[in-house]
Amino acid sequence: MKMKFTTFHMRSFSRLTVLLFLLTFATQCRNDLDVSPKSDGYLVPTTVKDQLSTKMAKILAKKMADQATREFIKQNVLKKFDEDYNFLFVDSYRFLLDKGKDASFIDSVIRYHPLMQIVVPELSTVAPEDWNTTSHVPLVAVVPELHRPGNDTIIGAYDVTGTLHKLSTIKDPKQHIVVISENVRTQFYLTGTEPTIEKIRKAKNGRACDIFLRVPSPNYVTTSKTGSYYLKKEVARLYNLVEEGCDGGGGGGGYYGGGPPPNNTSSCQRQTMSPDRKDIIGDMSYQNMSVLRSVADWTGSAKDFKMDIDYGGINGSPVKNFAVYFWVSRHTSSSCDFFWWCWATQFNPNVPTLSWDRTNDGNQMKYTLWALGNGATTTNTQTYTATGEGGLSLSYTVTKSVSSKDQILGQDYVKYCDVANGQGTRYAVGQYAYFYIHR
């Protein structure tokens, strides 16, 4: 009887313990985030950057017990130095780490992971502005380099005790979370390789114009002992872009060759709308939410884009590339049916690109819309076809360095005589995302 009582007592105690554990676990999931029960999909951090991110996550997770640390993180992500809720490690380690104790680790990050960032992502459930730093202690997650948006990846996150939690990247956490990842909106340059702004004198259609060649990022952000940081937002190699105040006398035209303009120029809106005006990237849209989720998830900004424009190669001119980076915030996107903010499929970045010297640039330009993500550098090779008057057609091979996480969303040729007023012409129809170009 005593043995039965003891057995019953132990079983009851065991069940009670399990019940309390499950209750605690369920409460944590409800209040903090959804932890995926899967373990086979766990993406183990393996690279040097992964290891540094993991160590930072563990250090920061323990420091989350201090409200001053939580408040520091919130206030700094709200500054949105690159229009996202994040800040760079290089601008924060003096407060977050011990310069004596962590000196070796700090040096390793600056040298081998210079674009490490701390992010409080926008989620479908909560916004960074609403983080109550008094009561909520978030986990700190690590996004490994090999993670690809759209995959149901299981990543690790640490709590104040150092315990590892496994999270799914396709389901937003229910409460705020801090993420250690790599910034995609800033470019790092080693000391001595910083970009410069070169001002040159260039003649354009018989007029003397001051044109700036900006190579490749003029917006300085910060510096470290090994190099400097610049925003990518203004990245552009400007060749034929005539700045305001460069109109000179007379009206000028879109055809800069000798003799009369081609017969079809009169029907081209770009001709009648002034050739020196810049084309503009207008309305954009993912084909549907499923496509958007395939290139974006809660772990990062995800709405980071680059528009590559290949043009030129006519009349002996070189083939050139114009690259412009831009991004769209969740809060500034179109609203969805049931939420006042969310990942929207449609938005209008309203980003200017370049003007069009039809003689040397040709009758069409190849636009390639990329979704950006940091990863190992690789090459992308494409064919660009230039067309000119009289049926001239020339093909060129263009090779560029890209990130292994970059993905082409849409690609199309913009023709000189396409509709350019109002909303403009829609391109890349039927691809991952389409876009409008107008003036």
The mean pLDDT of 198-203, rounded to a whole number, is 42
Which of 132, 160, 182 is the endpoint of a domain? 182
CA distance 225 to 72: 24
Q: Is residue 306 located within the same domain as residue 175?
A: no
Task: Identify the DSSP state of 233.
Answer: T
Residue 246's nearest CA partner among 205, 286, 301, 215 is 205
pLDDT at 427: 97
Asked if 39 and 166 touch (Cβ cutoff 8 Å), the reply is yes
Note whether residue 429 is domain-resident.
Answer: yes
Share of the chain above pLDDT 90, in %: 44
Q: At what angle do helices 103-112 and 48-63 cross, to 10 degrees?
A: 140
Note whether residue 204 is domain-resident.
Answer: no
> Residue 28 has which token pair?
């944590």
Note whether residue 424 is domain-resident.
Answer: yes
The mean pLDDT of 197-212, rounded to a whole number, is 39
Q: Is residue 395 located within the same domain as residue 293?
A: yes
pLDDT at 218: 52
Note whether residue 427 is domain-resident.
Answer: yes
As a whole number, the mean pLDDT across the chain is 76
210: pLDDT strictly greater than 80: no
Share of the chain above pLDDT 70, in %: 72
Q: Of 56-60, 248-252, 395-399, 425-429, which gets the smallest average pLDDT?
A: 248-252
Note whether residue 228 is domain-resident.
Answer: no
DSSP string for 347-370: E---EE-----HHHH-SEEEEEEE
Split at pLDDT 50, 70, 90, the class of 277 is confident
Q: How many other CB atoms sit within 10 Å of the CB of residue 246?
A: 15
Q: What is the pTM of this model?
A: 0.66
Note whether residue 388 is domain-resident.
Answer: yes
Specify burial of residue 371 (Cβ count, 10 A radius: 0-12, 13-18, 19+): buried
23: pLDDT strictly greater than 90: no
Which of 162, 182, 202 is the endpoint of a domain? 182
Task: Identify the DSSP state of 42.
Answer: B
Asked if 301 and 84 touch (Cβ cutoff 8 Å), the reply is yes
Q: Is residue 274 located within the same domain as residue 364?
A: yes
**Top-confidence range, 1-10, 237-246, 283-292, 386-395:** 386-395
Residue matched to tokens 């799914």: 168
434: pLDDT strictly greater than 50: yes
Note whether residue 65 is domain-resident.
Answer: yes
Residues 99-134: tens digit of each pLDDT: 899 999 999 999 999 999 999 998 878 889 999 999
Q: Is residue 170 located within the same domain as residue 292?
A: no
Q: How many domains does the chain have?
A: 2
Residue matched to tokens 């917006």: 219
258: pLDDT strictly greater than 70: no
Asked if 323 and 238 touch (Cβ cutoff 8 Å), the reply is no
Q: Is residue 310 located within the same domain as residue 168?
A: no
Residue 377's nearest CA partner among 352, 396, 405 is 405
362: pLDDT strictly greater than 50: yes
Which of 164, 182, 200 is the endpoint of a domain? 182
Note whether residue 10 is domain-resident.
Answer: no
50 is in which domain, residue-wise?
32-182
Q: Is residue 167 located within the same domain as residue 271?
A: no
